[in-house]
Amino acid sequence: MSIVHAVFAPGFFSNGPVQAALVMGAVVAAVCAPVGVLAVLRGQSFAGHAFADITSTGGSAAVLLGISPVLGFAASAAAGAASMEGLGARQHGDRDLVTGTVLGGALGLSALLLYLSTTRQGTSGATVSVLFGSVFAVSSANWPWVAALGLPALALVAAAYRPLLLSSVSPELAAARGVRSHLVGAMYLAALAASVALAALTIGAVLSTALLVGPAAAALGLSSRPGRAMAWAGAIGVTSVWAGIVLAYDSYSWPPAGRGWPVSFFVVALVMAFYAASRAGAHRHGRSPAGKAA
């Protein structure tokens, strides 16, 4: 019992925000798992990162306008997906180049909005919560948003599961099988945008890619089957979020005293630890020593 008390500080299980955070974090990590594995397989983790920066713009704008950040996350992710899709369709060029172009614009705008928010409100609190998030601060008013983003993301990935998998193995094989790669790619981009907005809500815009791509990258070495790799990614993501919440709750009694450490720090640190462990394990079993996955 004393060990339980040492790990879970008093009040952990009866604390409302903590319970909400546990459920919310698990849902978000579960949505991010299949989307993240596909992002890694399709070589689109950079696009995921771009969405993270774009959602930080949206979140900052929402704060400046005094509306809920999740609105900003969702709207900016949707706009980002649409513009990437538009640019990509027109120039048929290097996807990374397109993504980079969108990214540059978003970051510049983000800097302006954050500057305006800070000068107007005289505090950087909202800025920190947009960029680095706090799952404890997510209010129950956000549940409809979580459903509105998470369910379509899962539905899109489930609907296009096989074409997505085949085109990540080889776009040419997929084309030869009659896969409409543009449609399937657009469906995936929408799922990716929704997942990043969700992750931004949980651990902040800047760190959202870590929750999306980190567990996925760690999971690749753990199973040779696509579905199981997604299940592993989900397990690693949920474990990281839950353990991060426990540690963050505990950290209220840690040094700088009274305020607690940011939960996002713990979550990301745990994800990275899982990734390192999985890499080390894969290396010991003689598998590819340096995956290009991350």
Partner 1 sequence: MPKPPTPLPATSSGTASSGTASSGTGSPEDASSGVGAGTRPTQPAQRPRVLSVEDLGVRLGGRQVLSDVSFHLCEGEVAGLIGSNGAGKTTLLRAVLGLTPVSSGRVSVAGGRGRHQAVGYVPQKVVLDADLPVRARDLVQLGQDGHRWGLPLPSAAKRAATEELLAGVGALHLADARVGQLSGGELQRVLVAHALAGRPRLLLLDEPLANLDLHSARDTVALLDCIARQQGIAVLMSTHDVNPLLGVMDRVVYLAGGRAATGSTDDVVRSDVLSSLYGHHVDVLHAHGRVIVSVGDDSHSDDGCDAVPASAGVLVGGPVHRGAGAR
* Contact set with partner 1 (CB under 8 A): 37, 41, 158-163, 165-166, 168-170, 172-179, 219-221, 223-226, 228-229, 287-288, 291-293
| Amino acid residing at 10 | P
Nearer to partner 1 by Cβ, of 256 and 289: the residue is: 289
**Nearest-10 Cα torsion for 51, 116, 148, 294:** 20
Q: Please report how close the Cβ of residue 284 comes to partner 1 at its closest, in angstroms.
A: 15
Q: Please report how close the Cβ of residue 88 comes to partner 1 at its closest, in angstroms.
A: 19
Residue 18 Cα distances to 22, 173, 209, angstroms? 6, 47, 23
| CA separation for the pair 59, 200 (Å, rounded) | 9
Helix runs in 42-177, H state only: 45-65, 69-91, 95-121, 125-132, 143-159, 161-169, 171-176
Nearer to partner 1 by Cβ, of 200 and 219: the residue is: 219
Q: Please report how close the Cβ of residue 230 comes to partner 1 at its closest, in angstroms.
A: 9
Nearer to partner 1 by Cβ, of 185 and 221: the residue is: 221
N-term to C-term CA, the chain: 40
| CA separation for the pair 159, 234 (Å, rounded) | 19
Question: Which contiguous run of DSSP H or E holds residue 229?
Answer: helix 226-250
CB 201 within 8 A of CB 73: yes
Establish how many alpha carbons lie within 13 A of residue 68's alpha carbon, considering only the half-sphere containing its beta carbon: 16
Nearer to partner 1 by Cβ, of 162 and 182: the residue is: 162
Nearer to partner 1 by Cβ, of 226 and 262: the residue is: 226
Q: Please report how close the Cβ of residue 94 comes to partner 1 at its closest, in angstroms.
A: 17
Q: Please report how close the Cβ of residue 279 comes to partner 1 at its closest, in angstroms.
A: 10
Could you say which DSSP state residue 135 is in?
G
Nearer to partner 1 by Cβ, of 91 and 124: the residue is: 91
Q: Please report how close the Cβ of residue 194 comes to partner 1 at its closest, in angstroms.
A: 18
